[in-house]
Each structure stands twice: as structure tokens, then as C-alpha cells.
A and B are shown apart, each in its own frame.
Chain A
Amino acid sequence: EVQLVESGGGLVQPGRSLRLSCAASGFTFDDYAMHWVRQAPGKGLEWVSGITWNSGSIGYADSVKGRFTISRDNAKNSLYLQMNSLRAEDTALYYCAKDMGTHWGQGTLVTVSS
């Protein structure tokens, strides 16, 4: 069974940093691209960032470009999102998603507030 478990969310002040993790199991992690997708309270889905199986291609939404960094460790079956210079508008539930959204984690909540 595919499982994606996000962690690392929490309450953080504007301008600070946070690192999210996603632990994957139940599939061959290094066969698939992975993505971060977020959902602000009461809002729709927003793609944040994606990374191919070998980290050879990485993409970011314009809203996070230059502030967020996606990475993966295939040996640890883990996906990461380093978030710097956080803003109030980054407040959202952050989901880890496999491939073309075939599977999603339950999300980790990031709240940016002073």
C-alpha cells in the first residue's frame, strides 16, 4: 500500500524558515517524480514544486520561486521542501503527492503568523 506521510509543519513567524519532509513507502520511490501541493484554508489546490526521479528536473510555482527548495533522498525514500522567507500567504496545508497525483499524503499544516 502506498503511504505518504508529511511532517515538519507548524506555526512560524513571517520571514523565518521551515523544512517539510515526506516519508514514502509501499512503492519504488526512485521510479517516480514527486510534488508538493498546498491548499490555503478554504481555498483550492495550488501546485508548489516538483522534482523528477533523479532530481534532474525541478520546477517551482512563481509564488515560491527563489524562496523554496525541493529535494529528495532516494536512499531514505524521502522528499523535502525547504521554505525560507515565509509569508502570511504561504499559510496552507502542504501535501506531498506521487507522480501525477496518483497518491497524496494527509498533509502538514504551515501557519505563518506573528
Chain B
Amino acid sequence: QSVLTQPPSVSAAPGQKVTISCSGSSSNIGNNYVSWYQQLPGTAPKLLIYDNNKRPSGIPDRFSGSKSGTSATLGITGLQTGDEADYYCGTWDSSLSAGGVFGGGTKLTVL
């Protein structure tokens, strides 16, 4: 049972838009920045979004993040078959008193 709650799967057609939700509480999302990670099959996680809505260099603007209260959302527009992956939300407590917590992951299928 993960601390953050994500839907197990989402799907959409190429070119369409999809959103992935991440629900937490005041002890994690509510008081910390949220990150999103993409994990392609057989590879390590890759940072997509940090500080709720910032994209590292090299991440296309098709990927976006938002946060409201104790929930966060990842949006992906212009879906491509190469976007098929597992997506994880996470939040990190900088004091390390709680460390890091992740969602259970969402499998994105591009139909």
C-alpha cells in the first residue's frame, strides 16, 4: 500500500491528452513539492516534473504538472507511442524525517 494514491492505469489514443492524479495528505503533498517520474520498460526512473510544475531541461512541454492542496496532477498532451511507460508521483521531505514517498505508479497505454 503506497502512501500516495495513483490510478493503476490510464489509456488514450495517440495525439490525445491524458491526466494522471496523485492524492496524498497534509503530511506529504500538502507541505512539500511534488515530482513526477517516467519509467520506460526495463529502465531507471527519469525525472519529468519537479517542484510541482517545473520541467528539467530536455523534457518537452507536452508534459506538465500541477498541485492543489493535497493532490497533484501530471498532464501529457500530444500522446506518442513512446510515452507508454509507468509514471510515478513522489514527494521528498527535505528534513529526511519522513524521507521520500511515492505513489504506486500508473501504467499509461497509448492505444
Contacts and interface: CB of A to CB of B under 8 A. Distances in A.
Interface of A: 33, 35, 37, 44-47, 49-52, 57-61, 95, 100-107
A44 B99 contact: no
B26 interface: no
A105 B43 CA distance: 10
B99 A60 contact: yes
Nearest to B36: A101
Q: Label chain A's interface by main secondary structure.
A: strand
- Which A-B residue pairs are the 4 nearest by beta carbons? A47-B100, A59-B96, A59-B99, A44-B105
B96 A102 contact: no
A58 B45 CA distance: 23
Name the residue among B44, B93, B95 with the largest chain A CB count within 10 angstroms.
B44
Contacts of A33: 94, 96
**Number of chain B interface residues as a range:** 20 to 34
Name the residue among B47, B86, B93, B96 with the largest chain A CB count within 10 angstroms.
B96
A104 B105 contact: no
A47 B44 contact: no
B44 A107 contact: yes
Name the residue among A44, A50, A102 with the largest chain B CB count within 10 angstroms.
A44
A58 B100 contact: no
Name the residue among A37, A49, A57, A106 with the largest chain B CB count within 10 angstroms.
A37
Given A101-B35, A103-B47, A45 B102 contact: yes
B44 A102 contact: no
A46 B102 contact: yes
B46 A104 contact: yes
B45 A47 contact: no
Contacts of B104: 44
Name the residue among A46, A47, A52, A61 with the largest chain B CB count within 10 angstroms.
A47
Given A61-B99, A102-B56, 4 more contacts: A37-B45, A47-B102, A60-B99, A101-B45
